Structures are given as C-alpha cells and as structure tokens.
Structure 1
Amino acid sequence: MKKLLIPTYLLFAIVLLASCRKELERINKNPNEPTTVQPDYLLSNGIKANVDTYWGPDAAMDGTLLYVQYWSKIQYTDADRYIAGATGTQTVWSNFYAQGIEDFTALAQLGDSLHNPNYKAIAVIMRSWIFQQLTDLYGDIPYKQAGQISQYLTPVYDSQKDVYTGLLAELKQAATSLTAGSNGIGGDILLGGNILRWKQFANGLRLRIALRIADREFATAKAVFDDVAAGGAAALLPKDTVVKLNYLASPNQNPVGRNRETRNDYRISKSIVDKLKALNDPRLPIYATMPKDTNVIIGVTNGLPSDSAARLGFTKTSDAGTVFTATTAPAILFSYAEQQFILAEAAQRNLIAGSAPALYNQAVTASFVQYGIPEASAVTYLTRSGVAYDATNFKKSIGEQKWLALFGQGIEAFTEWRRLDYPQLKAAYAGALGGNIPMRFKYPSSEQSLNGTNYKAAVARQGADLLTTKLWFDKF
C-alpha cells in the first residue's frame, strides 16, 4: 500500500492558516464583553421573562382570566367563546420552555460551577414554579428530559403525577440547600436576595402541589404537610407577605398595562361582579373601575358574539381595576392569603392539625389587607351569609373565597376552580364547546410536527388533545 505523502509547502500552509485563525480569534475578542454568563443577569432576565408570560396576554388575558370568568371581552370575542388561537398556545409553551426551563437549568448548572448553592436552589425553585404552570395548563409534559436540548431534541412526556411528585422532591431539596448569611446572590428582582423568603416560597409551592394531588395521593400529600410543619413557623410566609414582581416604567412595565396602551377590548366579567355585589364585598371598587357614563359598576357576560358585546359600549361597562392594569401594578406569584386558604383546607381534610374556620378567616382577612382594606372590615364580612365558613361544604366556602382572593392570577385560579368545582360558573354565552368550559390548554402544533411520537404517547395516556379533556389532578 502506498503512503500518502503531503508536500512540505502544503504542511507549512496548513500550520500557517491555523496560526492565523487563532490570532484572529485572539485579536477580535471584545475586552468589554463577558465570555461567560453572569448569574445575576440570568436570574433577573429569567424572573422577568417568565412572570411576563404568566401574567401576559396568551396565558392569562386571552386564556385563563376568561375561562375562570375574572375578565370578559367586549371586542374580538373569539377567545372568550373558547375559540383558542394557535399562536397563543404556542407562545405560552415556547416561552416557558425556551425562556424558563432552559435558562433556569443553565443557572442551576452555573450555581454548581460557582460553588454557590443559593443560585442553584433559586434556579430550581423558579424552574419548578414554571413546570407547575405548564402541567397545570397542559397535563402531561416533558419534564425529566426537558432543558437538555443537547441530549434530548425530542423529550419524552412525563405523566402529571410524575411531574408533581418530582417537583415536590426538587423543591424540598432546594429549600434544604438554601443558606442565609453566605453565598450571596445578585439579580434577585423578586425577593431582593432574602434567602428566608425563598425558602418560604419553596415551601408554599410544596403545599400548593400537595393539595393538588391530595384527591389522588393523600398519603404523599400528608407527608409533605408533615415535613413542612416540622420546620416550624419560620417555614412559611409571615402574615400579609406577598411574593410579587414589582414592575417599573416602560419598557419594564406590567404586561397588562402594556396591553392597555394600545387596546381596550377587555372588561371585568359579570360573574365576579355579581358575586361581589351579592356579598356586599368591599373589594368590588378595587377589582373593577367605574364606567365613564354610569355611576354603577357593570360587568360583561362572558362569550357574547362580537356584535352583541360591542353594542354594550366602552364607556358604559367596567374594566378591571388599576391594581391590575396600571403600568407598575405588581404580578403576584404567591401570597399569605393563598397560604392560609391552603392550610384551612388541609386542616379540614386532616392533612394538618388546626382550626379550618380560623385559618379560613385569616385567609379572607389577608386578602382584604392585601388590597388596603382594614382588618376590621373583614370581621363583619366574615359573619355574613354566604361568607361564613361552612364545614359541611368546605369546597364551596374555600372555593368561592379563594376565587375572589386570587383575582388576576389566572392560571392558579383556573386550576383551583377545576379542583374544587367552585364557584359554579356557567359556560360562555355563545361558547364553542357545547355548554362546557375549558379544562386545559391544547398542546401546540409544533409538538405534533417536531415531537410527534412522544406527543401521541401522551395523548394516548391522558386523553384526546381537546380543551375539554380533564387532567389527572381533577378527580371530581
């Protein structure tokens, strides 16, 4: 066999070209541009981008806020009639995975390389929060193989049960590994670097998920409540604390406020206005605005045909209040009020020791305080018929008041409404689902085309990819 001989001049040329390339790479480096990702920037951007998605038009304004009848539409009413746009569904899925799971997975890995367990733990908490939103909306989702695109271009879908139980384990580990007083972090625009608050937020999410699965996996849920209770009072949010992102002026404004800069097609739903009026609830003028041409708050029926809705008049119907629509209105992720509702139900169901009525009263009072209403007003309110705690139908008491307290938190309220079946809402007037209200979001079309095998396996296990398919957690 003949050996291939490379001329000396050709070898010299190859070496020279390689040297030139290295030199060009060296001299073309920008000395002012970092070559590695900064964890504080990654954390800030991750929080902002994903809270925007949670609070924004596709997940909330044209989706869950309409489904759970907080808002309604007075123009372009297709979304309010359950005719979901393909773009919105795709945007929620893509944003949460690409701007959320990917980024926080990278931050967790960066925390390891920097030997800073606090960055890793916070990344895991935020990633877990995003996974919770995704499974609450869609059901079975890519979880164990998600965020690892170099290994898994077509990730397998995990069952909702496995997602929830996996998140419980991840959140417990994250809460345990957080250490105050060392391993400082930057870029925390959510909780200002308060490690104790991050631990309490993680525990709050654990309790939220434990209650999600309690109808299916009572023993697992009970173990979570027992474990959090063992941490004492400091394991949970203190009175009247709210985990929220405080928005700023443009371009860092609230996405609801940004939306209102160019359009005016949303109104407060007649369903929640009627409930607040029936209870003589002092939150009504906070949740809704007074129309320009009337002296009474008027909500709009969900799902009207566009021509019927438009005839109601922009100046004669009420928009949502400025606490939700203002440029700097905060986005709430978790609150002391929600925590106390969780504990009240847990006490009623023997998941914890405690007085369900007392915890329920604390929850309602906390919701009042959250919106600047004095505690004294809640004392009177809690004695009224339709408000006072009814242990014989705790789902109604907790379901209706939790629905009122979570106003604006579309995904969470939508999920709790499905789980508790209260309040008892009527489907959209001209809804496209035969008198039914959506039970989930449909998977985006990209999953059918790009991850078809795993998509089909999920649908075969979970049920048809329809808005009306109930999810695993929704047992009753």
Structure 2
Amino acid sequence: MKKKFLYITAFVSLLAASCSKELDEVNINPNATENAQPDYLLTAAIKNTADAYWGTTNNMNSSLLFVQHWAKVQYTEEDRFIYSNSSFTSLWSTLYSQSITGFNKIIEIGNTTAHPNYRGVALTLRSWSFLLLTDAYGDIPYSQAGKLNEFITPAYDKQKDVYFGLLEDLKTAKNTLDPAGKAIAGDIIYSGNITKWKKFANALRLRIALRIADKEPAKAKQVLDEIKADGDLYISDNADIAQLIYQISPQQNPVSAQFDTRDDYRISKTIVDKLFVLNDPRLPIYASKTQTATPQEYIGLPNGLTNSEASNLGFARTSKPGAYFLTPQSPAVIFSYAELLFDRAEAAARGLTTENAAELYKQGVTASLKQFGLSDAAATTYLAQASVQYDAANYKKSIGEQKWLALFGQGLEAWAERRRLDYPQLSASVNTVLNGQIPVRFIYPGTEQSLNGQSYKNAMASQGADLLTTKLWFDVN
C-alpha cells in the first residue's frame, strides 16, 4: 500500500509540474518580448514623454495659456481657468506609468548588461521627467516611485528633496556617460552622441540650480562650482539643442496633429503686442497672418474671453501660431541653447559665477533668433534697441522677458520660469475664476485621493491645499 501511495504521489507531482509548465506557456503574451530591448524601450519612452510635454493637455490647454503664449478661440473654459481634478491626469499618469517605468527598465538593463551609456541616458531622461512633475505639482512620489514590488502607495517627497535628489541623479548620470564606451541605439534625440548627453545632463543641473537659487543659494552655487571644477561642458550651440524632431503623420508633432482636426487656439494678444513693441523679427515665425487681411496682419487673441466674446472676434481675423509650429516635423524642444545662455547670464547676475551676465544675455538673444532661422545681422539690429538692452539693475526683468519670448511653445518650461522670475508681469482676464490670479500649479489627479489617499493627505499637510493657487516651494514671490 505504501509503494502504491508513492507511485500516486510521484504521478501527481509530475502532473502538477506538467500543468504548471503548460500554464506558463499559455500565459506568455505572444505580442511581448521576453527580453526587453533597451533601444526599443528608449525610443518609446522618449516619444511618450515628448508627446505629454508638447501635447494638448499639458501644453496647449494649460501652461501655454497660463504664460499667455496662446489663447483659446473656442471652448474657452480652460483659458478662464475652469478645471477639475481630472484635468491634469495626463502628465501624472503618462510620466509615471510609461516614461519613468520605461527609463527604470533601461537603467536596470544597463546595470545587468554592463552598458553604462544606456543607464546614463535613461537616468538623465528620468530626471527630466521627475522635474516636469515636481515643477507642475510640487510634492510628488520620487524616492519610492516606480518600485511597485515595495511600495503600492508611494509617499510624496517634499519638492526641495526632489530637486536635491535630481541633482545627485544627474551628477551620477553625467559621470556614468562615457563617449568612449559602448554605443547605444534607439536614441531619437542625439542619435547616440554621448558627449551631447553629458552636456544635456549638465544643462539640467544648471536649470535645477536656478530653480532652488531663491531658497537655497549656497546649494545652487555648490552645483555650479562642481560643474566648473570638473571641467564639464554645457550645451554649446544650436546644434546641441535637446529636442525630438517629429516625422510626418502619424508620428507628427502633437500641435500639428491638433490643428489637422480642430481649430481651438490662437496666438495670445499679450505676446503679439510685445513682439510688435520690440520690433521683434520672430513675430512672423511665432504668428500666422490673419486669414482675412487686416491692416496689422498679425492679431493676437486676448486671453480669458468668454465663448461669445471669442466668437465675435472671429477665426479669420485672429492669428494662429506660425507655420513653423504647425508643420508635422516641428520639434519638441526640451532644452535650447538660448535657455542655457540665459541661465548662465542669471547665474552670473546672482553672483553664483564670475561670468559676464550682460554678454551672456546678448548671446542668449542671438541664439534664440538664430534657432528660428534669423541672421546675426538681425540679432545685432534687435539688440541695439534700448528696449532690448540688458538692465543689470533688474536682471530678472531683462532675462525673464527675453526667456519668455525664447521659450515660445514650451509651455511647461515657460510657466516654471515665469513663476520663478515673476517676469513678464501678466494680468488675468476679468472672466477668469481665480480672483485675478493665474494658476501656479497643477492640481493632483483625483485618482490620487482614492488610490493613494494617505500620501495625498500628507502632501496637503506639508504643501498646502490642492488648489491651482497654492504656491510651490520654489516660488517665493
């Protein structure tokens, strides 16, 4: 009897192993690779992040309106700051579930395959993704984010801690990247040029150093001193711009795709008026001529109109954004050479470096004009105007206004800089719903309250109410 039992036990064990093997085979997704390829992951993660950054929800329907680059000509609720807690889900969900998850996987592959350049590139891009999130929302999951096996409900880190953590991540990324190391594939920003990735990582370090400069000037200076001591390079000309150049449909620029099927936006009157006052040669690049001929040729739409007010001004008598931004291949700019020069100018003006702020400011203006195909001669003429010349007594105004112009179309970045520098000084329409205020943050997705409730409540206790008007840690004025 005992022998028979042993036979039965062995048979059951063999049957269980066979069933387990069959179940494992049945549950394999035929459309997924068992061994993730870092090049494919990198391409997909870059594209997903750029689309979220440059697309409708986080750019056209929010931050571009907040900085008055664009205005809405129909369905104007967003231009009057009428939002719900589902309005800003896209940036959060895309960057956490797709971008950061993808970059974490690439970092893991880079570690396990002894391929440091994949790790360095992914760490740089993951840092940019976290930076977009904290600039928009404030306190966010950072140290516990993307670790689903350990943290189902990740804690929110304070914004200061996120910035400090990202500075360390970017320093690690810069030191990891090796131009003489193994080549990478799937890089649709720099085509595998690791030297340019090192420059971009340092540029992000400079950007964050200025984010914290009003609150933590000593830390900001320490970062810039480290970069200088290491002899590292920044983005050094327009050929180094960090950008995703789109292709034709269906891989076209999100702005182009939006205007293919809808006609909701116009260039803002605020920026058109400023370009006119400055005799700025970027006007015909940033704006299209009105469809119906007008004496001014370029007419911006006031922000914050009611639907009826916008309709009365008309589609044909107001200017769309310029053709440069509406073409399918128009790039999603992540970090421009002009921004880098303005950042260096500000660092010098703050006494964080010994560079010449006025000279760097002029170089920044010139780089912006040349980025859009204008000549050195046009830049010289433009800079000769008293209204454009650098004012050392109010560097925030000079740099803030010119950076605002240079960042046209980069809604999230222009919004972060405008909150930090407080220039240009913008006014909200009387039709807006925030008592004359312009939004200074995104509100958290409503799903955070239901799925990560305690962490959400802790963030409110630390940061303040989950409102569009609650200032973030870096926004001191």
Using the size of structure 1 for normalisation, the TM-score is: 0.96
Q: What is the alpha-carbon distance in structure 2 between the residues aligned to residue 25 and residue 101 of structure 1?
A: 28
Change (3 A) 1:33 1:155: closer
8 A contact 1:301–1:429 mirrored in 2: no
Per-residue CA distance 1:231-277 (angstroms, 9 max, x = gap): 43x51112223111010012211111111111001000000000000
Q: 1:447 aligns to what? A: 448
Q: 1:256 aligns to what? A: 255
8 A contact 1:428–1:437 mirrored in 2: no
* Counterpart selection for 2:237 from 236, 239, 250: 239
Q: What is the alpha-carbon distance in structure 1 between the residues aligned to residue 263 and residue 26 of structure 2?
A: 53
Q: What is the alpha-carbon distance in structure 2 between the residues aligned to residue 456 and residue 28 of structure 1?
A: 39
Per-residue deviation, 1:181: 2.3
Q: What is the alpha-carbon distance in structure 1 between the residues aligned to residue 209 and residue 175 of structure 2?
A: 18
Per-residue CA distance 1:262-313 (angstroms, 9 max, x = gap): 1001000000000000001000000000011024100000010011101111
Q: What is the alpha-carbon distance in structure 2 between the residues aligned to residue 90 and residue 29 of structure 1?
A: 31
Change (3 A) 1:328 1:473: same
Q: What is the alpha-carbon distance in structure 1 between the residues aligned to residue 398 and residue 24 of structure 2?
A: 66
Change (3 A) 1:13 1:63: same
State the AA in 1 paired with 2:238: D
Matches within 5 A, 1:67-466: 67-232=66-231, 235-241=233-239, 242-295=241-294, 296-466=297-467
Q: What is the alpha-carbon distance in structure 2 between the residues aligned to residue 363 and residue 88 of structure 1?
A: 35
Per-residue deviation, 1:92: 1.4
Q: What is the alpha-carbon distance in structure 1 between the residues aligned to residue 19 and residue 450 of structure 2?
A: 44
Per-residue CA distance 1:333-390 (angstroms, 9 max, x = gap): 0011000000001111111111111000000000000000001111121121221000
State the AA in 2 paired with 1:239: D
SS of the residue aligned with 1:142? coil
Change (3 A) 1:27 1:96: closer
Q: What is the alpha-carbon distance in structure 2 between the residues aligned to residue 235 and residue 269 of structure 1?
A: 36
Unaligned runs of 5+ in 1: none
Per-residue deviation, 1:98: 0.5
Change (3 A) 1:28 1:92: closer
Unaligned runs of 5+ in 2: none
Matches within 5 A, 1:12-31: 12-19=11-18, 21-22=20-21
Q: What is the alpha-carbon distance in structure 2 between the residues aligned to residue 254 and residue 69 of structure 1?
A: 21
Note the aligned Cα RMSD (angstroms): 1.9
State the AA in 1 paired with 2:434: L
Per-residue deviation, 1:10: 5.9
Per-residue CA distance 1:312-343 (angstroms, 9 max, x = gap): 11111101112222111110000110000000
Farther-moved stretch of structure 1 (258-267 vs 359-368): 258-267
Task: List, as ranges, runs of 4+ consecutive aligned residues in structure 1 with deviation greater than 2 Å.
Answer: 5-11, 16-34, 85-88
Q: How many residues align?
A: 472
8 A contact 1:323–1:329 mirrored in 2: yes
SS of the residue aligned with 1:141? coil
Per-residue CA distance 1:79-100 (angstroms, 9 max, x = gap): 0000124433111110111011
Using the size of structure 2 for normalisation, the TM-score is: 0.96
Farther-moved stretch of structure 1 (46-55 vs 26-35): 26-35
SS of the residue aligned with 1:84? coil
Q: What is the alpha-carbon distance in structure 2 between the residues aligned to residue 139 and residue 152 of structure 1?
A: 20
Identical-pair percentage? 53
Change (3 A) 1:10 1:302: same
Farther-moved stretch of structure 1 (441-450 vs 317-326): 317-326
8 A contact 1:77–1:304 mirrored in 2: yes
8 A contact 1:322–1:329 mirrored in 2: no
Per-residue CA distance 1:378-408 (angstroms, 9 max, x = gap): 1121121221000011111001000000001
8 A contact 1:79–1:85 mirrored in 2: no
Change (3 A) 1:70 1:31: closer
Q: What is the alpha-carbon distance in structure 2 between the residues aligned to residue 321 and residue 375 of structure 1?
A: 21
Q: What is the alpha-carbon distance in structure 2 between the residues aligned to residue 467 and residue 30 of structure 1?
A: 42
Per-residue CA distance 1:385-432 (angstroms, 9 max, x = gap): 221000011111001000000001101100000001100101134101
